[in-house]
Structure 1
Amino acid sequence: MTLLILGVILWIGAHTFKRLAPDTRAGMGETGKGVVAVLLLVALALMIVGYRGAYGDVWWGRHPATVGINNLLNLFAVYLFAASGMKTRITAGIRHPQLTAVKAWAVGHLLVNGDLPSLILFGGLLGWAVWEVILINRATERPAPPPPASMGKEIGAVVGTLVVYGLIAWAHYWFGYPAFG
């Protein structure tokens, strides 16, 4: 459980470093990007290893209805990441599509995983995403919405979403976490 908690704390710290200590981060220049990237990879490894080895109380479990809701939320989360990269129409209405994706992903996983390690991992990342949105909104003005995306970008985002979602579902099965069962 310690590795999981350290991973979540490191993830939050690395992501919020720029917001909480902007002068220090700016002073690091381009090197800072590499440092943050390495910290995030270490955090990700700690969270994966820590989650797989953690155990704790279980308050609720999977139910067919919550599995379906989880899958829809995660499909939406993957779409938001694709939409963010391709600047599709939905990004005109959602200021932080990637952080909104993290929130949808975390809520979906909390619906089907009611154990202590899941609350630490998914609840911790949900809390981080909410906090990050607040920090960004306080620090920056809302940018002008992007121009409408072409239909090709919209279709590309949907196709990319389906491919990536399929790969994620396959990886879940491979690691022993069935996405649809």
Structure 2
Amino acid sequence: MIYLILGLILWTVAHLFKRVVPDLRDRMGNAGKGLVAVGVLAGLVLMVVGYRQAEFINVWFPPDWMVHVNNLMMLGAVFLYGMSATRGRLRGAIRHPQLTAIKVWAVAHLLVNGDLASLVLFGGLLSWAVLEVVVINLAEEWQRPEPGEAKKDILLAVITVVMFLAITFIHNWLGVWPFPG
């Protein structure tokens, strides 16, 4: 589980680098961007390797019906994540749509995974997303964007369903069928 924990630490440090030491990050220019990208990617790889290698230690037994709650939350998380890329009417409703999506994603996965490695991974990413929102909110003032066209939100809903199906396919390919049956 050490790789998983190191991956979470590296992921968090790389993402917070710009906010915690902005002057250093600015002086580094493109090299700083590259360093952050390498840190994020290395953190992600370590998390995946660490999670896959972690011994299964059950902490709690989620009820079977929780899978339905997870899937509904995941559909919402995909929609929230996409809100950052759209210019529809809903875009200005949430300041941090991607980080909110990560929080929903993490909670959804915590609801259906009761093993220690899952608690560390999803709990760690949930903690990172909460910390990231706090740090950003302290560092920057937000100007709510003007609402766009409603048809862009409808397009986002269609893209959300397609992406959710793609994510389901990837989970199935990895050996995890996300629907009870």
Q: Specify the TM-score bucket, using the shorter chain as the normaliser.
A: over 0.9
Rounded Cα–Cα distance in structure 2 between residues aligned with 1:174 and 1:70: 19
Rounded Cα–Cα distance in structure 1 between residues aligned with 2:156 and 2:31: 32
Structure 2 unaligned regions, length at least 5:
none
Deviations 1:10-57 (A, max 9, x none): 110100011111111111112222221121111111111111111242
Q: How does 1:13-162 map to 2 (within 5 A)?
A: 13-143=13-143, 145-162=144-161
Q: Counterpart in 2 of 1:11?
A: 11
Rounded Cα–Cα distance in structure 2 between residues aligned with 1:53 and 1:178: 20
Q: How has the CA–CA distance of structure 1 residues 88 and 161 changed in structure 2, closer, same or farther, with 3 Å as cutoff?
A: same
Q: Determine what percentage of the aligned residue pairs are the same residue.
A: 52
Q: TM-score, with normalisation over the residues of structure 2?
A: 0.94
Shifted more, 134-143 versus 120-129: the winner is 134-143
Amino acid at match of 1:52: R
Rounded Cα–Cα distance in structure 2 between residues aligned with 1:10 and 1:22: 18
Question: Does the residue aligned with 2:146 lie in a helix, a strand or coil?
Answer: coil
Q: TM-score, with normalisation over the residues of structure 1?
A: 0.94
Q: How has the CA–CA distance of structure 1 residues 40 and 23 changed in structure 2, closer, same or farther, with 3 Å as cutoff?
A: same
Deviations 1:128-148 (A, max 9, x none): 1111111111111121x2222
Question: Does the residue aligned with 2:65 lie in a helix, a strand or coil?
Answer: helix
Amino acid at match of 2:107: V
Amino acid at match of 1:94: I
Q: Counterpart in 1 of 2:173?
A: 174
Question: Does the residue aligned with 2:147 lie in a helix, a strand or coil?
Answer: coil
Aligned residues: CA RMSD: 1.3
* 8 Å contact kept, 2:171–2:178: yes
Rounded Cα–Cα distance in structure 1 between residues aligned with 2:30 and 2:159: 30
Query: Where does structure 1 differ by over 3 angstroms across 4 or more consecutive aligned residues?
Result: none
Question: Does the residue aligned with 1:11 lie in a helix, a strand or coil?
Answer: helix
Q: How has the CA–CA distance of structure 1 residues 18 and 111 changed in structure 2, closer, same or farther, with 3 Å as cutoff?
A: same
Structure 1 unaligned regions, length at least 5:
none
Rounded Cα–Cα distance in structure 1 between residues aligned with 2:40 and 2:52: 18
Amino acid at match of 1:32: G
Rounded Cα–Cα distance in structure 2 between residues aligned with 1:177 and 1:120: 19
Question: Does the residue aligned with 1:9 lie in a helix, a strand or coil?
Answer: helix
Rounded Cα–Cα distance in structure 2 between residues aligned with 1:95 and 1:26: 24
